[in-house]
């Protein structure tokens, strides 16, 4: 973990300037994490709004789902250091931080369950335990971000989003559903 000296040196500011704005290293850490979480919460709200707007139009809804997945991946890719801190280093080490993670997870879970219910109500998803499926998708998305998106290798984020959405469709489409058609709708030219 970086020291205050490391932070002021990297920022090119004096120690006094640092303490003018922050009382401690923990305070700047919480400020950065809050900015990351606030941006992510806004993204989840916007993604939910997009899916609601596309509801009732099967292909548009699947394209919106794909677009939402892409935006989630891009957000994490654009914030690699904070993503790494949030998912690997800080969880469980700070009570305020852990509480904020819980709030964000609850928001994401609530939105995902509502989105799955919306798709189920429109006959786009097989009957299943949507709460369990939401947990599976949330956990697997974090794992994909950490294992395939953050390492220092060049990842085609659009291709990654397409693959994830393809697996979601194949797993969740109703038995009588047309997988090929659903995949074409979700992944057609953007």
pLDDT in tens, 129-178: 999 999 999 999 989 998 888 877 678 999 999 999 999 999 999 988 88
Would you say residue 135 lies in a domain? yes
pLDDT at 91 (0 to 100): 64
- List alpha helices for the chain, DSSP H: 4-11, 15-21, 25-54, 58-78, 80-84, 95-121, 130-144, 157-172, 179-187
Would you say residue 71 lies in a domain? yes
Would you say residue 61 lies in a domain? yes
CA Rg value for the chain: 19
Q: pLDDT category, 40, cuts 50, 70, 90?
A: very high
Would you say residue 2 lies in a domain? no
pTM of the predicted structure, to 2 decimals:
0.86
Contact indicator for 157, 77 with CB cutoff of 8 Å: yes
Helix axes 58-78, 157-172, angle to 10 degrees: 140
Would you say residue 6 lies in a domain? no
Q: Under DSSP, is residue 135 helix (H, G, I), strand (E, B) or coil?
A: helix
DSSP state of 2: -
Which two tokens mark 34? Answer: 């809050």
The pLDDT tens digits of the residues spanning 44-62 come to 999 999 999 998 766 689 9
Contact indicator for 79, 15 with CB cutoff of 8 Å: no
Would you say residue 3 lies in a domain? no
The pLDDT tens digits of the residues spanning 15-39 come to 898 888 888 888 888 888 888 989 9
- What's the mean pLDDT when you consider all of the chain? 87
Would you say residue 94 lies in a domain? yes
Domain span holding position 78: 25-187
Q: How far is CA 87 from CA 32, 81, 90, 161, 190, in A?
A: 14, 10, 7, 20, 30
Q: How far is CA 38 from CA 53, 90, 96, in A?
A: 23, 17, 14
The pLDDT tens digits of the residues spanning 90-126 come to 666 667 777 878 888 899 999 999 999 999 998 889 9
Count of structural domains, the chain: 1
CATH code where residue 118 lies: 1.10.357.10
What percent of the chain has pLDDT above 70? 93
Helix axes 157-172, 179-187, angle to 10 degrees: 150
Would you say residue 1 lies in a domain? no
């Amino acid at each position: 973990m970086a020291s205050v000296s490391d932070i002021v040196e990297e920022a090119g500011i004096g120690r006094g300037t640092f303490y003018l704005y922050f009382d401690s290293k923990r305070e700047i850490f919480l400020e950065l994490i809050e900015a990351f979480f606030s941006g992510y919460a806004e993204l989840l709200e916007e993604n939910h709004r997009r899916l609601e707007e596309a509801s009732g139009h099967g292909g548009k809804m699947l394209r919106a789902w794909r677009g939402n997945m892409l935006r989630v991946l891009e957000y994490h890719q654009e914030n690699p250091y904070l993503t790494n801190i949030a998912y690997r280093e800080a969880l469980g080490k700070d009570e305020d931080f852990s509480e904020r993670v819980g709030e964000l997870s609850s928001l994401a879970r609530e939105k995902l369950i509502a989105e799955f219910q919306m798709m189920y109500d429109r006959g786009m998803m097989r009957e299943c335990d949507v709460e369990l499926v939401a947990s599976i998708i949330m956990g697997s998305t974090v794992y994909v971000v950490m294992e395939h998106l953050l390492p220092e290798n060049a990842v085609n984020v659009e291709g990654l989003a397409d693959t994830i959405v393809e697996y979601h469709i194949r797993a969740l489409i109703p038995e009588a559903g047309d997988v090929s058609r659903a995949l074409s709708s979700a992944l057609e030219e953007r």
